[in-house]
Structure 1
């Protein structure tokens, strides 16, 4: 009997040692801002780095890995966020534009992480319309939400969509407070996966009042392609003889007849031309960067909490945005475009137990890769239904095998919101090929059911020119010279078209369901 008791005691002791020696799963904090362009983060050494707008995010990059070549596959909020959650491209997950809702069954990322034993939560901007029901906890803004005194939909306060909770203050402060409160009450026996999403710096750039004087007496650097760019673009965005320049692409300058920031921001009626454009740009960027400053300060506060609670070194911290932002490049004010300022996403990952400090990667990543990577970091495997790929090897300082050489992009919402023609294309590290097919994917008779029809219906019913653009990104990183008709690049363009055709098939991104678009592409493929 004594021997039997001793055996049980030793066995239990060994089991206890085994449990203690088992490696603890890392927490995962996924931070995403809305429209925070990489070139508005100091660590990326862009146009605004001298202003030091993001010291806390920069320190995160110094402690971890900064990715230089990360791109979304559609530069608007809802489709980008759907690709992040599902690991799938738009035609597979069903979210092509801002009107689509992500099927609740396709909230794959929280589902997969729960399988790995994680508690899951999302706080802040959601923007996928249906209830984030597959998270253990959520507190999300309805739609875009408000900058001041935001209302949230919160789990545990009734049935969606009437489970509302009120708050006071600026949304960036409130979202940070909510995340800290959530962490304080968390079950410490389980690792957590928390999506912490800011509304800022999405337009209309309503910053907290304490930042009203930030950068007030500073001249913000201006992009060289804000003013003069005679070789940029194509007939699809400029028209023949530049007859579309006052219609295509909302502008900083007074170029665009319906949407420009001179009308929005310039109160001095004596200013004209370049002076008026510069004044509009200065106000635009200061409002934007004041929102960015609020994010960075709040991240400092959140990081301090993690350090004080002993969570800092066992938490994988990811910082990104759902897309970039033009910020005046090419005299465009929004996103949606396939140009790099819009298409590029910042991505910074910190986890000292895995990666070296101040690491930089040029791996060609897109937003479908986020979910597979997070799942594998949590100890799982990428599901077969996901189209993205894990880049955990890169985080661990190892080489990826059989990685993509080009990433696919498509913007569907032809001439809606910021007057951007529908287009698709492909980007490698060296080159970019864009095709403006300039037609909405819905037939005209279906336009009326959408809220945007009243403002944009007249433009949707017009016939718009189609055109190709090609940029040599090594020689022309600002995308100032469209070289599509340069014979020196004929072979490169042919190769890119072959890759574009291949990816559209492999990724389920063809136009088989949209015969008119299919015909436009087929007719103009060799144009």
Structure 2
């Protein structure tokens, strides 16, 4: 596979010299181009503690400096960031739980690893990250949220939540005598506390003299934001700062070509905070008085939403402090690399949206913080454009293990020393596959560079046999499943430097025609390079073929 990727890279690199995407061959370079070297090892190999939350938006971490930073929501994470490096441009390739986790474990984009939506799972033979870690001599463990259906059998140890799991008194599937999926054990307490208790017990009781690789994965702050009762008063008297477009977006926002030509369809796309979507808005969950004026309804719902969300995060942050203290108590802290991330971002009222899935930055940006005790980079930041296909290669490189040929991503360990890997990407690929299945978000794809974002809303479901849909009233009214209804195809372009809130679609502005042409060419190249061409989905391929010359 590497030979093929290198050939593609050499054929395409000359065509983009001195234009926007000057390093179009970067992803295919892999080990042959300036193979990164792991950090200088101490006499004892470094342990790795990989901490991942669910839906923790970067804008809800103090060190990322968003409107929420003044609330000091994550003092322990911020302290960790102050001891290492913060990556400011880390992005998910498919902003939904199972696909993101599959990509992290395999180093592959969704169509290759087969987990394009929540129906997918990863069997033992595909759990590449722990398998490769074991080859490097590591004891492997995973605790917390798994969400990939099959048994995490490639790990030496596991205790994982069944499916999404419960916030309170959760059950865990525990490695042991009983056969998966019947190997369940019940616990008492809040899931963030219980997950941390299990990891702490494992750290204290492990007998192996091998270095460890522990994936500690919280359920929080996934909706519906059920926080531990001890946080009832946290932020009770605070007013949570609001996003600029919570109460409505400018007329120039978006494009009716991508949302539909009629107002009812536009309003029914996505879960809103306001009353904009009469069928799915978060005020309905919080039982906000529907008789309130629109702005007051929105304000009250937003405050409830963010306080519940941030209380879940407070529980995560406090439990991270417990984990770190355990490492210190066990004499492990100075020999353990700590990585913090989330499986994707989260819309926190931006564009009047809740949830993820969208290609908007709040949804696709992943926090990524690395504290490496062997590298003096305390308080540093990197703007390198990374995505979650790179996480497995990066973690393997930290322990001296080469990136396997079947992985799409590349290691970025040189960034920990302030260096840019040779021929690095200038744009990261994104695709959300599950058309209108959850929160009515239409299927779309695109590229995010440092300066621009190109989006193609192709608006149809790749599956010939559709999911059963949750809203029976719509089916009864129309005779159609909502996820069977295509939305009109269309393009959007945003200037991320001058319009970071993504409010003005400039796709039709003729002065951006060269940028659009370059980005489309790169989108085509990456689709081909990463097996995202829909060769097995003729209906999808026809849509792309028709609209890529628009």
CA contact (8 A) 2:192 2:315 kept: yes
| Corresponding residue for residue 27 of structure 2 | none
| Corresponding residue for residue 7 of structure 1 | none
Structure-2 separation of matches of 1:470 and 1:157? 54
| Corresponding residue for residue 227 of structure 2 | 207
Residues 430-460 of structure 1 deviation map (CA, whole Å, 9 limit, x = unaligned): 00000000000012xx126x46585775212
| Corresponding residue for residue 388 of structure 1 | 409
Structure-2 separation of matches of 1:84 and 1:202? 18
| Corresponding residue for residue 321 of structure 2 | 300
CA contact (8 A) 1:125 1:141 kept: yes
CA contact (8 A) 1:237 1:244 kept: no
| Corresponding residue for residue 518 of structure 1 | 541
* Aligned positions, number: 504
**Mean Cα displacement is larger for which, 47-56 or 301-310?**
301-310
Structure-2 separation of matches of 1:273 and 1:341? 24
Structure 2: gaps of 5 or more residues: 1-40
Residues 337-387 of structure 1 deviation map (CA, whole Å, 9 limit, x = unaligned): 001000100000001212410110000000010000111101111111111
Shift of 1:237: 4.6
Structure-2 separation of matches of 1:509 and 1:479? 26
Shift of 1:23: 2.3
Q: What's the secondary structure of 1:491's corresponding residue? A: helix
1:451–1:143 CA distance, 2 compared to 1 (3 A): farther
Structure-1 separation of matches of 2:401 and 2:204? 27
Q: 2:500 aligned with 1:477, yes or no?
A: yes
Shift of 1:462: 2.5
> What TM-score, normalized to structure 2?
0.89
Q: What's the secondary structure of 2:347's corresponding residue? A: coil
| Corresponding residue for residue 240 of structure 1 | 261
1:237–1:211 CA distance, 2 compared to 1 (3 A): farther
Structure-1 separation of matches of 2:174 and 2:208? 22
Structure-2 separation of matches of 1:461 and 1:29? 42
Task: Output aligned runs, 1:47-58, within 5 Å.
Answer: 47-58=67-78
| Corresponding residue for residue 326 of structure 1 | 347
| Corresponding residue for residue 447 of structure 1 | 466
Residues 407-427 of structure 1 deviation map (CA, whole Å, 9 limit, x = unaligned): 100000000111000000111
CA contact (8 A) 1:266 1:279 kept: no
Q: What's the secondary structure of 2:545's corresponding residue? A: helix
| Corresponding residue for residue 531 of structure 2 | 508
**Mean Cα displacement is larger for which, 120-129 or 374-383?**
374-383
Structure-2 separation of matches of 1:352 and 1:427? 32
Shift of 1:102: 1.4
Q: What's the secondary structure of 1:226's corresponding residue? A: coil
Residues 104-150 of structure 1 deviation map (CA, whole Å, 9 limit, x = unaligned): 21100000000111000000000010000000000000000000000
Shift of 1:309: 1.3
Q: 2:145 aligned with 1:122, yes or no?
A: no
Structure-1 separation of matches of 2:239 and 2:253? 26
Shift of 1:468: 0.4
Q: What's the secondary structure of 1:353's corresponding residue? A: coil
Which of these residues, 413, 426, 430, is aligned with residue 405 of structure 1?
Answer: 426
Q: 2:230 aligned with 1:227, yes or no?
A: no
Q: What's the secondary structure of 1:134's corresponding residue? A: coil
Structure-2 separation of matches of 1:115 and 1:82? 20
CA contact (8 A) 1:320 1:348 kept: yes
Structure-2 separation of matches of 1:256 and 1:243? 9
Residues 290-322 of structure 1 deviation map (CA, whole Å, 9 limit, x = unaligned): 000000011111111111111111100000000
RMSD of aligned C-alpha atoms? 1.5
| Corresponding residue for residue 91 of structure 2 | 71
CA contact (8 A) 1:236 1:438 kept: no
Shift of 1:269: 4.7
Residues 259-308 of structure 1 deviation map (CA, whole Å, 9 limit, x = unaligned): 10122224445421111001000000000000000000111111111111
CA contact (8 A) 2:94 2:431 kept: yes
| Corresponding residue for residue 498 of structure 1 | 521
Q: What's the secondary structure of 1:438's corresponding residue? A: coil
CA contact (8 A) 2:204 2:330 kept: no
CA contact (8 A) 1:120 1:193 kept: yes
CA contact (8 A) 1:65 1:355 kept: no
1:381–1:242 CA distance, 2 compared to 1 (3 A): same
Which of these residues, 391, 395, 401, is aligned with residue 374 of structure 1?
Answer: 395
Structure 1: gaps of 5 or more residues: 1-20
CA contact (8 A) 1:153 1:164 kept: yes
Task: Output aligned runs, 1:84-483, within 5 Å.
Answer: 84-229=104-249, 230-240=251-261, 242-443=263-464, 446-447=465-466, 450=468, 452=470, 458-483=481-506
Q: What's the secondary structure of 2:370's corresponding residue? A: strand
CA contact (8 A) 1:125 1:145 kept: yes
Shift of 1:95: 0.7
Structure-1 separation of matches of 2:332 and 2:49? 11
Larger radius of gyration: 1
CA contact (8 A) 1:373 1:390 kept: yes
CA contact (8 A) 2:84 2:369 kept: yes
| Corresponding residue for residue 36 of structure 2 | none
Structure-2 separation of matches of 1:63 and 1:470? 37
| Corresponding residue for residue 32 of structure 2 | none
Shift of 1:239: 2.5
Structure-1 separation of matches of 2:462 and 2:420? 39
Structure-1 separation of matches of 2:397 and 2:278? 49
Structure-2 separation of matches of 1:276 and 1:131? 44
Structure-2 separation of matches of 1:218 and 1:491? 47
Structure-2 separation of matches of 1:254 and 1:237? 21
> What TM-score, normalized to structure 1?
0.93
